[in-house]
């Protein structure tokens, strides 16, 4: 009887399906557990995060006379007037009249180091991100400046035409597919509830998810033992997508940061945060 085998076949298939579902739920469960453990770690280090070491160094760097002109960054205008640090992060990126372009925090710091302190931009661009004993001034300065906006609400301005242009360019770039792997930012960050291995991938086009993530940048990255800035995050996403190197402080980098921070507008700032 040819049909007698059918139930066996279906039972086997059902078994396989059950097995597959079982594996999926085990993976989902361990993803949750990892997220929970990271949360527990964040709580444990909340009042002694290693990020404080960067904050302390950042404060020194801000106040220390440096460069050929031997001046400090205390006259640097982050958008709230020369030397005003409190609340600066909440209103960046923004258009700056003196440079006639939109700048995010790190790009503005680079601008101040060049125009005020007389440091060489080519040299500064060579060390934007720390690596062990080679430390980055940008990461330390960003950490300290971010800490002075803790508890404030993220509200980057969108009044100047250049600010709107940067936001529009960032949105375009977010969807552009390219590179050897035909990737776009949206490949990983345009669906909710997705993860890569055990890492949750926020859907950055949804404001509530963008707010949860972007309000904590710059952040201490536990797995690297480094303070990381949004410029680093953009740079590393480009590397992961096998895109060409993203130039530190470039128009493209600032545009992407603009788009993401506008999506996160209204976020309660809790930077520097702690990330995996």
Partner 1 sequence: MADPMRIRARIEGDQCVVRVLIGHEMETGQRRDATGRLVPAWFIQRVTATTGGRVVFSASWGPAVSKNPVIQFSYAGAKVGDRIQVTWVDTRGDRRTDEAVVSA
Residues that bind partner 1 (CB under 8 A): 45, 47-50, 52-53, 56-57, 132-133, 225
CA atoms of 262 and 273, how far apart (whole Å)? 19
Burial class of 264 by CB neighbour count within 10 A (0 to 12, 13 to 18, 19+) = buried
76, 112, 188, 237: the catalytic one is: 237
CA atoms of 83 and 114, how far apart (whole Å)? 16
Cβ distance to partner 1 smaller for residue 220 or 243: 220
CB of 47 to partner 1, least distance (A): 7
Cβ distance to partner 1 smaller for residue 51 or 93: 51
Q: Is 112 a catalytic residue?
A: no
CA 76 → CA 80, 85, 108, 110, 195, distances in Å?
10, 9, 9, 10, 40
CB of 183 to partner 1, least distance (A): 24
Cβ distance to partner 1 smaller for residue 59 or 104: 59
CB of 225 to partner 1, least distance (A): 4
Cβ distance to partner 1 smaller for residue 166 or 227: 227
The residues annotated as belonging to the active site are: 237
């Amino acid at each position: 009887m040819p049909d007698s085998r059918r139930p066996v076949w279906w039972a086997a298939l059902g078994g396989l399906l059950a097995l597959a579902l079982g594996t999926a739920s085990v993976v989902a469960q361990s993803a949750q557990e990892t997220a929970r453990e990271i949360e527990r770690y964040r709580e444990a280090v909340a009042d002694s995060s290693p990020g404080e070491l960067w904050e302390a160094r950042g404060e020194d760097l801000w106040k220390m006379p440096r460069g050929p002109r031997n001046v400090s960054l205390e006259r640097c205008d982050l958008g709230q007037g020369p030397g005003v640090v409190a609340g600066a992060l909440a209103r960046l990126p923004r258009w700056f009249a003196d440079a006639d372009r939109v700048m995010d925090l790190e790009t503005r710091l680079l601008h101040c180091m060049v125009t005020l302190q007389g440091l060489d931009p080519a040299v500064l661009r060579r060390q934007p991100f720390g690596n062990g004993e080679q430390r980055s001034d940008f990461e330390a300065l960003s950490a300290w400046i971010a800490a002075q906006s803790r508890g404030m609400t993220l509200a980057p301005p969108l009044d100047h035409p250049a600010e709107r242009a940067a936001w529009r360019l960032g949105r375009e770039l977010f969807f552009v597919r390219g590179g050897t792997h035909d990737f776009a930012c949206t490949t990983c960050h345009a669906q909710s509830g997705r993860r890569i291995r055990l890492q949750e991938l926020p859907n950055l086009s949804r404001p509530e998810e963008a707010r949860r993530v972007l309000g904590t940048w710059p952040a201490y990255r536990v797995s690297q033992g480094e303070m990381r800035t949004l410029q680093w995050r953009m740079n590393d996403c480009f590397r992961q997508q096998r895109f060409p190197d993203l130039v530190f402080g470039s128009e493209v980098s600032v545009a992407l940061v603009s788009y993401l921070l506008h999506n996160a507008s209204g976020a309660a700032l809790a930077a520097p945060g702690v990330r995996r």
